[in-house]
């Protein structure tokens, strides 16, 4: 592909105290791609997203966007540059309404009309949020809060949306819904880096994927190729 590289990590290492959680991984995400990062518990997926979004310091390696280093910047600077993470556990503002949460997502913007238009776009993607727009976020179900967290991230107009386990803890119906929405967001032109333990679903949606194991990238390929790879099937797809 010749699309611009919106995110590129090279030989990235991240440690907690003396323990290396990410041991020299490299990957890239090009504009318009949906890239999935899969792997078992503790493989280092969340740590990778935290490093990319500046919430966990890196030990060594480089992180670039469009040829410019973005390593060692704070999370807020990275949000301004369009790298926006929806964390595991979501972190919505529980005592604010849905609409207020979405407005908070736009705090870095001052284009009033654009913000209103984007709230309408988010409501088009998530009709459930529109129905409940005056409800307090804290009173919504886990799946609804996941939708809200994704909607709020979209309000920043991300260049790359980084999703950490969006299906975690949700009922099967809500899992279906969330993956549908991830596909929809991608089809609307948003570049997505998706971290998931649900390897089947994540690879079905992915243009490309990376498999992580014990802090290292052990396999990479198109979503289709990884889905049909016997090693992936044996280790991650429960076959």
Which tokens in the block code for residue 84?
A: 């926006």
* Residue of 172, 194, 173 whose CA lies nearest to 183: 194
Q: Which is nearer to ligand ATP, 23 or 109 (CB)?
A: 23
Non-local (6+) Cβ contacts of 173 within 8 A are none
157 counts as binding ligand ATP under rule CB under 6 A = no
- Could you tell me the smallest distance in angstroms from the CB atom of residue 184 to ligand ATP? 24
**What is d(CA 216, CA 208) in angstroms, rounded to the nearest whole number?**
17
31 counts as binding ligand ATP under rule CB under 6 A = no
46 counts as binding ligand ATP under rule CB under 6 A = yes
Helices and strands in the chain, H and E counts: 10, 10
12 counts as binding ligand ATP under rule CB under 6 A = no
**What is d(CA 172, CA 226) in angstroms, rounded to the nearest whole number?**
23
Site for ligand ATP in 159-218 (CB under 6 A): 197
**What is d(CA 84, CA 162) in angstroms, rounded to the nearest whole number?**
6
Among 4, 42, 74, 138, binds ligand ATP (CB under 6 A): 42
Contacting range for ligand ATP; rule: CB under 6 A; set: 4-12, 42-50, 60-68, 137-145: 42-50
Give the residues lining the site for ligand ATP (CB under 6 A): 16, 21, 39, 41-47, 197
């Amino acid at each position: 592909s010749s699309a611009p590289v919106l995110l590129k990590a090279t030989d990235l290492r991240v440690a907690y105290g003396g323990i290396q959680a990410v041991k020299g991984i490299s990957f890239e995400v090009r504009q318009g791609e949906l890239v999935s990062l899969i792997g078992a518990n503790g493989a280092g997926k969340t740590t990778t997203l935290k490093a990319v979004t500046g919430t966990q310091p890196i030990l060594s390696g480089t992180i670039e966007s469009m040829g410019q280093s973005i390593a060692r910047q704070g999370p807020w600077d990275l949000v301004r540059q369009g790298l926006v993470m929806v964390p595991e556990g979501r972190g919505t503002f529980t005592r604010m309404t849905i609409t207020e949460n979405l407005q908070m997502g736009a705090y870095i913007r001052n284009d009033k009309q654009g913000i209103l238009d984007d709230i309408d776009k988010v409501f088009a993607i998530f009709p459930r949020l529109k129905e409940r727009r005056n409800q307090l976020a804290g009173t919504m179900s886990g799946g609804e809060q996941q939708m809200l967290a994704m909607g709020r991230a979209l309000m920043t107009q991300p260049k790359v949306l980084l999703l950490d386990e969006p299906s975690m803890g949700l009922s099967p119906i809500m899992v279906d819904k969330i993956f549908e929405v991830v596909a929809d967001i991608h089809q609307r032109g948003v570049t997505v880096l998706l971290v998931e333990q649900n390897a089947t679903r994540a690879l079905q949606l992915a243009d490309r994927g990376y498999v992580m194991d014990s802090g290292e990238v052990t396999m990479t390929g198109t979503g289709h190729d990884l889905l049909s790879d016997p090693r992936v099937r044996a280790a991650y797809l429960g076959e």
